[in-house]
Structure formats: C-alpha cells, structure tokens
Amino acid sequence: MGHQPDSFKHSTLGGWIATRSSGMQSDKYGDIADITRGMRVTLPGKVVTLRPRPSYSSGPSVREMILGSEGRLGVITEAWVNVHRLP
C-alpha cells in the first residue's frame, strides 16, 4: 500500500484513517487521506457508505469530516484504498 506509520505492527487501517495518519513514506505515496478512496462507517443508528470517487470540490465533504475524526462520528468498518506495487 505504501503507508508505513511508526505504529504499523500495533494499529489498523481504520485507525490510520480515523487519525489521518502520516507514515515514513508519505512523501512518496501520500498520507492516508491521499490513499483512502472510500469507506463504510457505522454511525449511531445507521451505516454510511462513501463510495470510491475522484476528488471534487463542491461544498462540505462527509469524507473529509470522517478522516481524522478519531472515531467521534462513527467506526470505520471497511475502506477502499490505493495499493502500490512493491519497488
């Protein structure tokens, strides 16, 4: 995937997204916000699916609200991410 945070062995993909983590190779592959394409989030009383889509700038983005929310808005249960080939 190209994302290597210091806590790689002790953390999860959902945790990286929820904390908007940045890894040692983020200058090459980008941080987790750049790698994440879509996600499924369980909120109190409902499930929200943010499908993988190209970036756009037309008002507030629910995706940007969830990235870095540290679990306050909901729990990330699935994620679609970019995967890079090994060098």
Which pTM does this prediction carry? 0.72
Judge: domain 8-81, CATH 3.30.465.10.
yes
Cα separation values, 65 from 4, 23, 47, 77, 78, Å: 23, 21, 15, 16, 16
Q: Where are the alpha helices (DSSP H) in 1-87?
A: 13-19, 26-29, 32-35, 62-66
Gap between the Cα atoms of 39 and 12, Å rounded: 14
Q: Average per-residue pLDDT in the chain?
A: 78
Gap between the Cα atoms of 76 and 70, Å rounded: 10
In the chain, where the domains are located: 8-81
Least confident of 20-34, 43-57, 59-73: 20-34
Residue 41 is predicted with a pLDDT of 93
Q: 22 pLDDT exceeds 80?
A: no
